[in-house]
Amino acid sequence: MATLIISDLHLSPERPHIVQLFFKFLEEQAAQAEALYILGDFFEFWIGDDAGLSTDFQPVNDALKQLTAAGIPVYFMGGNRDFLVGQAWADYTGVKRLPEEYVIDLYGERVLLLHGDSLTTDDVEQQAFRNMVMNPDWQAMFLGKSIPERLEMAQQARMESQKHQSGMKEEIMDVNQNAVEDVMRKHGVSKMIHGHTHRPDMHDFLLDGDMAERIVLADWYEKGNVLRVRKDRFELNYFGGD
C-alpha cells in the first residue's frame, strides 16, 4: 500500500488521451492505494461547479465518485486553473477539499503540500493575477456571470497566460527559493511537495542548518506521473508514454 500524489493533469476534452490515461491510472494504481492526493491544475479550467458538473468533465467526476465509493480517500487542492472547484463538486465526487497550504503526516513525517503557484514570486504579473482571482469579491463577480460569459473569460485568460509565458525567462517562472524557505518555516517542516512549474525533480538544500527537501511533480502533457510514497521512500514514477 502506498499514498499517491499527482498534479497538473490539465484534464480537458481537447486532450482525450490524457483523460483515458487518468481512468487507467485510477483502475490500475489508485484503486489499490492507501490515499490519493491531487495538488491542483487537475482540470485545464474550472468555471464553477454548476458548469463542471454538467459538461464534458462529467466522466471524470463519475470516475472519482466511483473511487471514493470504493473506500479510497481522495483529497483535492485547487491550482491556478481550477481554484473555483467548490463544495458541490466535492459532495458529488466524495473528494475532500484541502486549503492551499496543507501539512499531512506521511508515515511519521510531516510534509507540506501545495500547488506551487504561490512560490513563483519573481513572476510579478502572474502574482498580480493570482491575487486578483483569489479575492472572494472577484470570485463572486465571476460566478455571477452566465456560463458562456465565464467560458469566454477563461479562454481569454488561457490565451493571455500562454502569451505571457512565451516571452518569459524560465528562471522567473520557477519558484523563488526565499519563498520556499519562508513557507516551510511557517509550517515547521523540512519536506515540501508541489507541482505547477512542470519541472519534476527532488531538490535537497539546507534550511536553517538542517537538510530539507522539495519534491516537484511533473505534468501529464505527454505521459502520466505519480509520486508514490511509502515509509522512508518517495518515488517519482512515469507511465503511459510511448
pLDDT recorded at residue 170: 64
User: Which DSSP string corresponds to 218-239?
Assistant: PPSSSSEEEEEEETTEEEEEEE
The three-state secondary structure class of 118 is: helix
Residue pair 40/77 in contact by the 8 Å Cβ criterion? yes
Beta bridge partners of 202: 215
Which one, of 163, 217, 203, lies nearest residue 41 by Cα? 217
- Per-residue model confidence as pLDDT tens digits over 160-212: 877 766 666 666 679 999 999 999 999 999 999 999 999 999 999 999 999 99
pLDDT at 121: 93
Cβ partners under 8 Å of residue 45, min gap 6? 12, 81, 82, 154, 158
Give the pLDDT confidence score for residue 162 in this predicted structure.
Answer: 75
The DSSP result for 7-24, as a single string, is ----B-TT-HHHHHHHHH
- What is the grid cell recorded at 233? 521512500
Distance CA 29, CA 31 (A): 6
Residues of the domain holding 65: 3-239
Q: Encode pLDDT of 13-61 as tens digits.
A: 889 999 999 999 999 999 999 999 999 999 999 999 999 898 789 999 9
Is the pLDDT higher at 64 or at 158?
64
The Cα 144–Cα 238 span in angstroms is 40
CATH number, domain of 92, equals: 3.60.21.10
Structural domains of the chain, count: 1
User: How wide is the angle at C-alpha 175 spanned by C-alphas 157 and 209, nearest 5°?
Assistant: 160
